[in-house]
Chain A
């Protein structure tokens, strides 16, 4: 069946923008799918045809990413952010309310195609949750009034473009500035410093500063850049990982919206250092609202002669937008996604510094690392390394969320203790802090003097606070479901293990857990840690491991006393029979004494 004129026009425009190459598949699919639309069988076939890619591969990519849909969705596609902090802020009640107002059921299209309401992984608005996306556009600070307003707009079929702008207002709350956030970059200033140095000298400055990757793993940036510079290849690439998907973190959102010049400047420096003239910035789909601003920054820099093939440092940046997949924050999965494929982490070795984007030597660093690199050039390696600790130089941006009256972004020198951050955030009564999101570490009160640093508590930036009334078991359960939802499915331990883990905690939640389930959790955590292919699987057991260790009573009080209880409840299974026969007398029940 041929495409309708409108869809065909979208496809032709996407092909013009991205080119009819197989490695552009994801970006083409993104461009062809309208905000409220879906990728029909005809569209998938047309894309396969245009890019000369097997249809099954197109289907495979389309079904991998949460934000691409191969089934019809509502004209208004509502996705509630389902981070633990959204839940703590009452997202479940708001979702129920919206569904009631719209006569909708979660996960289904309602009102003859008018609306679909579902949940999605953390959208990075934890400082102003609960949050949602409507046709890909982010709305924060949800409350009953806002939900009523939104339901009226949907029922009146007002296009999202014409919704009041204040609904979409995202506020960046900076609570503490240090070296990085105090830095006022005159665009091009760091490049001017860099050009006085040779590429090798520039890498030397980064090495002297002791800069380490801000994503959490802490690999020394200078070693990475030097390895890429030394790798043979006809061209090299600089990739900025702006796929900030770790639940609870949102500091890249601030950098991308307020400090874009610093990011691009850092990427350009890296390009100069390794001899790359191409940069790619991979922006997570949840941050689509930042795309126009970023494109404007790039355009302004091109006009000012700071970016582009004819700039003093010939280097340009292309913006790619993701499509809803946490695992794409893993650097090799991100490269796969940039190349238009399913985001499956690669086998290593070889490493991206020698075989990265399209098999070329590639530096992949995250947003904050590029900012810090530019900062090193501006402030000097010595000033940079004066902040922080012996092995963790400089400062770290923390996304403080959860039970705090002062949520927002805090920049602290590395070495700050958890207690100091809690004091700054007015949350001294916390019972637990999730440092680094679900893939990081959950710590309890007696560890609050531990330090945020690569040598003690490394973090990508999430700092989620749980107050005295919180049920830590529910926190762990939410994270278990997150990993099961985001597992790419490549390797057995993670594909099956994350799902089993979620199922076992659900069984405990339902009151059927016993000592047997606790042992099963331990077994699954071990298999995930030992057998998984990538960091997602390796850390997927962390939230349960940490909470079993520190908050065992939260599990124990849910356990049945027996050694084993089946998840299947015979009495509950007889409920339909009781309804049909109109009986509810004791003899119609199975259970103790019957």
Chain B
């Protein structure tokens, strides 16, 4: 009999080394998240997975699961927090869903839809972030980057290339490319890279396949992200931890 903790009043089993979020997803319990990806070590920057653990608000993706923890996630307070965080991300970048080829497969859009975010809420910043279309097979629209760091982590840990990093700080924080010119074409990046495929939004995209899947038949057109994330969660023992 494995140990459990309580998530919104229901017992959730966990394995040693799992975080609260990982254990919840494996047990078919959804906690909204954006910068977490089952194949990568959680780092807890988007804060969408914030939950109350033993009365304290923490990122559930980085909080180790432990026996008899009392965790609350599905509360109005936390839903409101998550809605505001999604609104902040929408206001921070330039997200024009109707013209974005990731529409329907975008996690930010899907989260907004699932959480009931109907307006940006805050004044948009409209930052000036030029697109990098230098690479023959991929392009980066920095306007849509939500700074989840997944491409940074994937390129370093899986691809072994360190193609991406961050510059600046605060609201001036930006994704940058590791090449003398700063352009993707001059980097070691290839479309077969893991970093190509982990972007939760439409920031890193392959060229020439944008509308191969028609709108209406895309990932989150089929099922809301709260269902899709559970379908994607690893169930077997031995969580991958890159």
Size category of the A interface is 35 or more
Give the Cβ gap from A4 to chain B, nearest Cβ, in Å.
19
B85 lies within 8 A of chain A by Cβ: yes
Please tell me if the beta carbons of B46 and A491 are within 8 angstroms of each other in the complex.
Answer: yes
| Bound form: Cα–Cα A497–B170 in Å | 10
B45 lies within 8 A of chain A by Cβ: yes
B210 neighbours in A (Cβ, 8 Å): none
* Shortest Cβ distance from A347 into B: residue: B62
Give the Cβ gap from B64 to chain A, nearest Cβ, in Å.
7
Would you list which residues of chain B between 109 and 133 have a CB under 8 Å from chain A?
122-123, 125
| Bound form: Cα–Cα A487–B172 in Å | 10
A34 lies within 8 A of chain B by Cβ: no
A120 lies within 8 A of chain B by Cβ: no
B170 neighbours in A (Cβ, 8 Å): 484-489, 495, 498-499
B94 neighbours in A (Cβ, 8 Å): none
Q: How many A-B residue contacts, CB cutoff 8 Å?
A: 114
A63 lies within 8 A of chain B by Cβ: yes
Please tell me if the beta carbons of A489 and B123 are within 8 angstroms of each other in the complex.
Answer: no
A219 lies within 8 A of chain B by Cβ: no
A485 neighbours in B (Cβ, 8 Å): 170
Please tell me if the beta carbons of B176 and A59 are within 8 angstroms of each other in the complex.
Answer: yes
* Shortest Cβ distance from A520 into B: residue: B122
Please tell me if the beta carbons of B62 and A487 are within 8 angstroms of each other in the complex.
Answer: no
Contact pick for B178, options A56, A499, A527, CB 8 Å: A56
Please tell me if the beta carbons of B64 and A489 are within 8 angstroms of each other in the complex.
Answer: no
Please tell me if the beta carbons of A63 and B167 are within 8 angstroms of each other in the complex.
Answer: yes
B147 lies within 8 A of chain A by Cβ: yes
B179 lies within 8 A of chain A by Cβ: yes
Please tell me if the beta carbons of A54 and B173 are within 8 angstroms of each other in the complex.
Answer: no
Please tell me if the beta carbons of B57 and A530 are within 8 angstroms of each other in the complex.
Answer: yes
Please tell me if the beta carbons of B44 and A533 are within 8 angstroms of each other in the complex.
Answer: yes
- Indicate whether A492 sits within 8 Å of B168 (C-beta atoms), given known contacts A349-B64, A531-B57: no
| Bound form: Cα–Cα A503–B124 in Å | 11
B169 neighbours in A (Cβ, 8 Å): 63-64, 325, 342, 487-489
A567 lies within 8 A of chain B by Cβ: yes
- Indicate whether A489 sits within 8 Å of B178 (C-beta atoms), given known contacts A60-B165, A349-B64, A530-B57: no
| Bound form: Cα–Cα A46–B88 in Å | 38
- Indicate whether A489 sits within 8 Å of B168 (C-beta atoms), given known contacts A57-B162, A503-B123, A533-B47: yes
**Which of B44, B57, B88, B170 has the largest number of chain A CB atoms within 10 A?**
B170
* Shortest Cβ distance from A348 into B: residue: B62
B15 lies within 8 A of chain A by Cβ: no
**Which of A41, A485, A490, A492 has the largest number of chain B CB atoms within 10 A?**
A492
Give B51-72 as 1s and 0s: 1 = Cβ < 8 Å from A's Cβ atoms: 0000001010010100000000
Please tell me if the beta carbons of A527 and B165 are within 8 angstroms of each other in the complex.
Answer: no
Contact pick for B92, options A486, A496, A533, CB 8 Å: A496
Please tell me if the beta carbons of B177 and A499 are within 8 angstroms of each other in the complex.
Answer: no
Give B36-52 as 1s and 0s: 1 = Cβ < 8 Å from A's Cβ atoms: 00000001111110100
Please tell me if the beta carbons of A54 and B165 are within 8 angstroms of each other in the complex.
Answer: yes
A59 neighbours in B (Cβ, 8 Å): 165, 167, 176
| Bound form: Cα–Cα A491–B58 in Å | 12
* Shortest Cβ distance from A507 into B: residue: B123
A55 lies within 8 A of chain B by Cβ: yes
10 sample A-B contacts, Cβ–Cβ < 8 Å, listed by A number: A55-B179, A56-B163, A56-B164, A60-B176, A347-B44, A485-B170, A489-B173, A499-B170, A533-B44, A567-B123
Shortest Cβ-Cβ A-B pairs, 10 listed: A489-B173, A56-B178, A56-B165, A496-B88, A487-B170, A54-B162, A63-B167, A531-B47, A499-B171, A60-B165
15 further A-B contacts with Cβ under 8 Å, apart from A342-B166, A484-B171, A495-B173, are A45-B180, A54-B162, A54-B178, A57-B178, A59-B165, A60-B165, A63-B168, A63-B169, A488-B170, A493-B88, A495-B170, A496-B171, A499-B170, A520-B122, A530-B57
